């Protein structure tokens, strides 16, 4: 444990920071609810992670003040439950990760000191606290990784407010959800594998940086952050069944081409987040070649009437443009509660000749995605089968797409790896202060 003077100073600063973080986070949540936004700003995630880390320190240092510890636990529970009910699983996950870091790192440092220097640790206290912290960390990482999937339950769009028939589930991302492996309780194999990769990466980084000078520890942390986020991205990409992987390869093959197309419309800048998509629709003047994109963004945000009007204005000068228009109209019809009749879409795909060119294959993937969406909404078994079927026709074209997909996924893991690895190494060094 830290000396009394240092502990008192840290606890005082932590308390002030925690109060400020709580106030700012509550204001942010209120502002988000009033503006009806579906993704919190990056500042809210930073505040959540930092606030959780401060809470963890507060819990750790309030051991001799039971009233303070109980108060912090109650406040933490309220924030977690309030965040989940407000539809903010991402910040809640970061908060839990921040809370658990202090306990995990201190416990690890005590165990390392006992193993290396013979300093006896109170295992009856260290092991249970580390177990609870590890569970909190696991839950936090899973919440953060699945923030988009979980947040869709709280979004105010037609997919969530329209009365659904028995067995139906009409979500804008129904196709991507159908590709994922069957979950074990609330976790898929890729969730578990990526979580293990992050935790193991953080622990290994702490072990290597333990007792090193500050500059060396910072360099080791940077390597650990890159390594942990890379391992997590590879895990979430490849730790899946062959059925899921092959469906994802077809889905990602078309997705990478569409992202490159979006970047060309956006001055070379790649957009991968829904806020960026909505900002483009709001700020950039409409033109014929981006109406397909605008229609999809409007549909995702629940503005189905506007999306349908935009789709009807999509150009039809080329065979592939006719495929996109038919697919978009069928998608919007399905989201609105219709059958999503694929007749026009199939006719447009059949009109694309010859059958072996990339344009025809892209059209087949578009049709397969729509079929997956309809099958998933009707709760049919194995909804991703159409994507696996078209994957066989792609051949070597889609062989390297998973590495490209992993590189994109890595960017989303980097903030979480930075919080986990950087905070772990920082707290480990703090625990070694004389």
pLDDT tens digit string along 393-415? 898 898 889 898 888 888 878 88
Give the model's pLDDT for residue 222: 92
Query: 6-15, 164-173, 365-374 — which one is most confidently predicted on average?
Result: 365-374
Confidence tier at 226 by pLDDT (50, 70, 90): very high
Confidence of residue 27 (pLDDT cuts 50, 70, 90): very low
| pLDDT category of residue 380 using cuts at 50, 70 and 90 | confident
Greater model confidence, 197 or 47: 197
| pLDDT for the residue numbered 5 | 41
Whole-number pLDDT of residue 294: 92
- pLDDT confidence bin for 311, thresholds 50/70/90: very high
β-bridge partners, 184: 187
State residue 34's pLDDT score.
41
Predicted pLDDT of residue 112 = 59
| Mean pLDDT, range 250-270, rounded to an integer | 87
Q: What is the mean pLDDT of residues 47-68?
A: 69
Rounded to whole angstroms, how far apart are CA atoms 7 and 11? 6
Q: Report percent pLDDT > 90 for the chain.
A: 18
Most confident of 93-107, 170-184, 254-268: 254-268
- What's the average model confidence in pLDDT over 176-193? 68
pLDDT in tens, 2-24: 443 444 344 444 444 544 444 44
**Mean per-residue pLDDT over the chain, rounded:** 75
pLDDT tens digits, 203-212 = 888 888 888 8
Percentage above 70 pLDDT, the chain: 68
Residue 164: pLDDT above 70?
A: no
* Among 187-196, 238-247, 319-328, 338-347, the least confident range: 187-196
pLDDT (0 to 100) of residue 15: 43
pLDDT, residue 346, reads 92
**Residue 325 pLDDT:** 94
Domain boundaries, the chain: 1-154, 242-399
pLDDT of residue 121: 52
Position 66 scores a pLDDT of 65
pLDDT confidence bin for 29, thresholds 50/70/90: very low
């Amino acid at each position: 444990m830290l000396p009394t003077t240092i502990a008192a100073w840290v606890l005082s600063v932590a308390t002030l920071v925690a109060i400020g973080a709580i106030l700012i986070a509550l204001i942010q949540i209120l502002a988000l609810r009033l503006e009806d936004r579906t993704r919190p700003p990056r500042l809210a995630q930073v505040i959540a992670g930092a606030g959780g880390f401060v809470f963890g320190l507060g819990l750790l240092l309030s051991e001799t003040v039971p009233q303070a510890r109980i108060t912090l636990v109650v406040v933490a529970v309220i924030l977690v439950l309030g965040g989940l009910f407000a539809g903010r699983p991402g910040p809640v996950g970061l908060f839990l990760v921040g809370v658990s870091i202090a306990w995990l790192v201190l416990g690890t440092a005590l165990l390392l000191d006992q193993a290396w220097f013979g300093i006896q640790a109170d295992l009856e206290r260290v092991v249970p606290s580390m177990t609870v912290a590890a569970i909190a960390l696991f839950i936090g990482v899973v919440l953060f990784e699945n923030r988009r999937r979980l947040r869709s339950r709280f979004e105010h769009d037609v997919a969530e407010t329209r009365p659904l028939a028995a067995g139906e589930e009409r979500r804008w991302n129904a196709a991507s959800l159908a590709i994922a492996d069957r979950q074990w309780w609330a976790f898929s194999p890729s969730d578990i594998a990526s979580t293990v990769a992050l935790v193991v990466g953080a622990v290994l980084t702490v072990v290597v940086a333990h007792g090193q000078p500050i500059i060396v520890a910072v360099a080791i942390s940077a390597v650990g952050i890159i390594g942990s986020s890379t391992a997590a991205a590879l895990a979430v990409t490849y730790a899946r069944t062959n059925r899921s992987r092959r469906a994802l390869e077809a889905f990602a093959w078309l997705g990478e081409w569409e992202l490159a197309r979006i970047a060309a419309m956006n001055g070379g800048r790649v957009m991968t987040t829904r806020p960026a998509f909505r900002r483009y629709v709001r700020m950039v003047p409409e033109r014929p070649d981006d109406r397909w994109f605008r229609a999809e963004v409007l549909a995702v945000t629940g503005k189905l009437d506007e999306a349908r009007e935009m789709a009807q204005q999509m150009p039809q000068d080329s065979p592939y443009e006719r495929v996109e228009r038919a697919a978009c109209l069928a998608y919007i019809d399905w989201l609105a509660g219709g059958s999503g009749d694929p007749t026009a879409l199939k006719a447009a795909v059949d009109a694309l000749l010859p059958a072996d060119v990339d344009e025809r294959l892209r059209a087949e993937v578009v049709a397969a995605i729509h079929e997956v969406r309809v099958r998933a909404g009707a709760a049919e078994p194995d909804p991703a089968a159409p994507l696996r079927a078209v994957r066989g026709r792609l051949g070597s074209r889609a062989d390297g797409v998973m590495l490209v997909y992993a590189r994109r996924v890595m960017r989303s893991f980097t903030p979480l790896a930075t919080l986990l690895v950087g905070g772990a190494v920082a707290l480990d060094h703090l625990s070694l202060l004389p």
